[in-house]
Amino acid sequence: MLIFAPAKINLTLDILGKRPDGYHELWSVMQAITLGDLVEIEPAEEINLRVVGADLPVDSTNIAYKAVLALRAATGKAIGASITIRKKIPLEAGLAGGSADGAAVLFGLNKIYNLNLRKEELSEIGAKISADIPFCLNGGTALVQGIGEKVKKLPPLKKGYFVIYKPPFGISTREAYLRLAGKDLTKAHPDREKILKALAEENLEDLGKFLKNLLEISAWEINPEIYKYKNELLNLKPLGALMSGSGSALFALTENLKKAKEIYYQLTLPGQKFIVRPYAAGPTCLKL
């Protein structure tokens, strides 16, 4: 089975508090995008993983591998798989690259082995592997709460283009969260009502205005270069620009493809760039 595993961006990321186990309570609107990995899965006795396009481990530290092990544990069945990941999502970018693969594996094996697990059950299994998997299983546009395990579908965003801008350095998610400690965030919270209203009304101008991510504060501290990337995007006058997740990737929102291209071709800093659209689904079977 060949699966498209979409990446995500965070249109807004608010942090409500820290739990005793160190994880943070989120309030985040997430959006799946048309940039994604290709994950090919065949049933097998053992677990065999191959990654093309990135230097990643192929052992039990890989999120895709962990997903197979978690399904085995949850079902008690001798599930195995030969998996090839064609990596297109940049690493340590805040684009949920690892979680997208994990979600694709859970989704694919559920079908291949006729496990008949509901999305909520897959989500519960996935949340134990990484916090972005529940959203990745859902895809589209969603409000994500808890530490990432509570996913509430929102009407899919149908308009707009995003220019993704990924600096050559990554940011560790753990470090970005750790850096929040002791910071006064009272004035940094996003306007949640306004962002939900902009989405409900499909008002891209307002959506651009109210984009906000609390983790930008930490990321800028970890690597102040991020600021240059955001400024370059903002100087090209998109509807708005923001860092995604824990970074280091940023994105600019535009009304149409013409403006997205205008921005894309004028970016000068080193790194990767992509023009993408919102994607209305999660892992998608392209070929049985």
Binding residues: 90-100
Q: How far apart are CA 133 and CA 6, in angstroms?
A: 11
Distance separating alpha carbons of residues 100 and 279, to the nearest angstrom:
13
190 binds, among ligand CDM, ligand ATP, none (CB under 5 to 8 A by kind): none
Catalytic annotation present for 191: no
Contacts of 22 (CB under 8 A, 6+ apart): none
Distance CA 273, CA 258 (A): 16
Name the residues that contact ligand CDM, by CB under 6 A: 10, 13, 22-24, 26, 28, 94, 96, 99, 130-132, 147-148, 173-174, 177, 245-246
- For ligand ATP (CB under 6 A), the number of binding residues is 19
Q: Considering only residues 153-212, where is the footprint of ligand ATP by CB under 6 A? A: 173
3 is an interface residue for ligand ATP by CB under 6 A: no
**Which residues are part of a known binding site for ATP?**
90-100
Set 37, 101, 132, 212: catalytic member? 132
Nearer to ligand CDM, 129 or 253 (CB): 129
What counts of helices (H) and strands (E) characterise the chain? 10, 12
In whole angstroms, the minimum distance from the beta carbon of 202 to ligand CDM comes to 23
Give CA–CA dist 185/179, Å, rounded: 12
Q: In the bound complex, which residue of the shown chain has the CB atom lying closest to ligand ATP?
A: 98
User: What is the CB neighbour count within 10 angstroms for residue 76?
Assistant: 7
- CA-to-CA distance for 277 and 148, rounded, in angstroms? 23
Active site residue 187: no
Looking at beta carbons only, is 48 or 203 nearer to ligand ATP?
48
